[in-house]
Amino acid sequence: MRIVHAAHYSLTRDGTEFFNCEFKFHTGLCQAGHYVYPFSINDRARANIFGSKNFGKGFANQCLLACCKNVEPDLLLLGHAQYIKPETLRTLRQSHPRMKIALWYVDPVYPPHDYDHLFPKLPYLDALFVTTGGEHLDQFRKTTCRVAFIPNPADSNLERLNLDEDHSKKEYDLVYIGSDKNRPQRRAFLEELARKLDGLRLGFAACMDQPPVWGQAKDQLLRKSLMALNLSDRNDIALYSSDRLVQLTGNGLCTFSDSASGLQALYEPDREMVFFDSLDDLVVKAKRLAQRPEEACAIGRAGRIKTHQYYSGKAIGDFMCKFTFNGTLAEFAWPQ
């Protein structure tokens, strides 16, 4: 197909966000055989003398109309698209009646997160894809728009470290990369974890008074670690995780996740990922695997294979296309 992919490509960030989902979906769709034209919504909105996205929203919407007129796509795939107006989608419906419109969203869809901009768009969408499952999808079933869960995408050219191949020369037993700013519960959890894992070598970034890491600096931190923690603001949301999950598993790190997320539906417990029921359970399992690095690497290896085999940008991009166009879904690992 011919696809216009309108998302936040972060073209002005000079590669610090090269691992973001829009690039993985773009590459995956190309790998699946489609032509994909990148339309960077936020960069287009900032293209004004003030560099203001709010000031440039109208311009970005006009540019998207022109882009679809010039490219004449079979599918307009939107990523988040906070600055794209429902009126723009209505106009595109009228001017391109054969074009399908779908939107992917990889942020949380529960309060207090702001996702209200999705609802006015639903009447003009053929499909909505969210990295949350279960009852939280029900709120979007109010129109003819079809709704589906998708996993976060991996890319073998981005998640390519294969950290399960060698457990020697590790500086950290366990790392966590994620902000604790304005997150007192996360901060308290990490502080208690650090206290109870006093004998282990812990690495933190963007939390516990440590600076954030981006780009290659982030990869370098992962290289130094045997295991990693996947922690969200809420860990009881069905199948939800940030893309931190595939950045860890896709690179072959033995990854710990809260069992309340239900991610056991995607990864086999204790073979492809380690799930914990409480902080104390996490402490026990982290200490045990720190003493058994071969076993930790075996879990990391199995998780890496699962991630790249089933949750690649190509697989998820192919799923989004087939779901939008009512194709068969039997080949995918998660539609049930």
Question: Burial code of 136-161, b = ≥16 C-beta within 10 A, e = fewer?
Answer: bbeebeeeebbbbbbbbbbbeebbeb
Domains 2-153+312-324 and 163-309 share a fold: yes
What 3-state DSSP class applies to 278?
coil
DSSP string computed for 162-220: -GGG--TT-SEEEEEE---TT-HHHHHHHHHHHHHTTTS-EEEESSTTPPP--HHHHHH
pLDDT of residue 140 exceeding 90, the answer is yes
The fold of 2-153+312-324 is Rossmann fold (3.40.50)
- Number of neighbours of residue 223 by Cβ within 10 angstroms: 16
pLDDT at residue 19 in the model:
78
Q: Which helix (H) or strand (E) holds 130?
A: strand 127-130
pLDDT at residue 11 in the model:
79
Q: From CA 19, how far away is CA 9, in angstroms rounded? A: 10
Quick one: CA dihedral 79, 230, 241, 275, positive or negative? positive
Rounded to 5°, angle at Cα 180 from 176 and 183: 135
pLDDT band at 1 (very low <50, low <70, confident <90, very high): very high
> Structure pTM?
0.93
User: What does the pLDDT average to over 248-260?
Assistant: 97
pLDDT of residue 142 exceeding 90, the answer is no
- Number of neighbours of residue 62 by Cβ within 10 angstroms: 12
pLDDT at residue 201 in the model:
97
pLDDT of residue 125 exceeding 90, the answer is yes
pLDDT band at 6 (very low <50, low <70, confident <90, very high): very high
Torsion angle of the four alpha carbons 191, 258, 314, 1, in this order, in degrees rounded to the nearest 10: -100
Looking at per-residue confidence, does 189 or 52 come out higher? 189
Domains of the chain, by residue range, sit at 2-153+312-324, 163-309
Given this structure, which CATH class describes domain 163-309? Answer: alpha beta
Q: Are 117 and 89 in contact (CB under 8 A)?
A: no
Q: Which helix (H) or strand (E) holds 2?
A: strand 2-7
